[in-house]
Structures are given as C-alpha cells and as structure tokens.
Amino acid sequence: MMEGMERPTRVLFVCLGNICRSPLAEGAFRKLLRERGLEAHFEVDSAGTGAWHAGEPMDPRARRVLEAEGAYFPHVARAMTREDALYYDHILVMDRENLAEVLRRFPEARGKVRLLLDYLGGGEVKDPYYGDYQDCLEAYWTVEAACKAFLEAHGPKGASPAGGA
C-alpha cells in the first residue's frame, strides 16, 4: 500500500560544526534506512549551527568510524540555513547549545527541533571533537541507538526489522 508516500519525511541532524556528531548521526540513520529498505520514505541531511568547517570533509575519526560500521557516505560540512528550518520536518540536534542556537536563529524551527537523545529519554551527545577514535565510536553508538528509536516513532508502520532489534 502506498499510503503516506506523498513525499518522504525530511530529517536534518545538527551539531556545532557538521564534521563529527551530525555526520555520525546522518550515517547511522542512512544505514538503518538502507538495512530496512526505507530510503524512499526519508530525505536525510546534516548541518552545523556554525560555518567554521563549511566546505570541509567530515572529521577523519568520524569517517573511520562510519567506514568501520558500514555507514560511510560522502559528506561536505555546511551551515544550517533558514531554508533548512522551513524545509525539514524533523531537526534533531546533538546538545542543548545546538537547540538554543537553532531556536534563536530560526524561530521557524520551533515545533520541529528537538534533542536527538530525547528519543532515548533525554541527554546530550558528547562532542568527540577533542577526543580520540574511541570517543567518536561511542558517539556513533549513542546516535545509532537514538536513530533507531526515532525510526520506531516516525517510520512507516511495520518498519521494524524482522525479529525486532
């Protein structure tokens, strides 16, 4: 049945610079969609609240984590825009600072923006930027679990993998 297929659900992951946490979340979510055959149901991107890293590739540690987890995708960092705030259905941010900045700069995002970890009961995704590979890996596992919970809440009915997960 094609119900709910008018257009894909639009999801934007947001962190500070768009080189660590939001690409990790985007990669994890894209992998989940691929594994469950749901790519056609979602449009996914990521952005930063700032433009410090715009035009740069993701952090090398984040890239290594995504490659190791089978979740790598080509990525170029960019800053969130007002158009993003209007376009996306769900804007999932990594920490309270990101949340406050998105709401301050883009009041249109109110009602669409929330902490990604709200889907796991609350909290913030620790920024691995000043850490090492293990910190990036732990951030990936955290965002992957939250993306699974988000997908359970907002995916098409019957989208759970066979046998649950």
15 is catalytic: yes
> Quick one: 33 exposed, middle or buried, by C-beta within 10 A (0-12, 13-18, 19+)?
buried
Catalytic residue among 21, 30, 36, 63: 21
**pLDDT tens string 16-69:** 999 999 999 999 999 999 999 999 999 999 999 999 999 999 999 999 999 999
Start-to-end Cα distance in the chain: 24
The pTM is what?
0.93
Give pLDDT, residue 3.
Answer: 52
Q: Which of 12, 10, 16 is nearest to 95 (CA)?
A: 16
Catalytic residue among 30, 84, 127, 136: 127
135 is catalytic: no
3-state secondary structure of 2: coil
CATH domain 9-154 topology:
Rossmann fold (3.40.50)
Structure tokens at 143: 């965002």
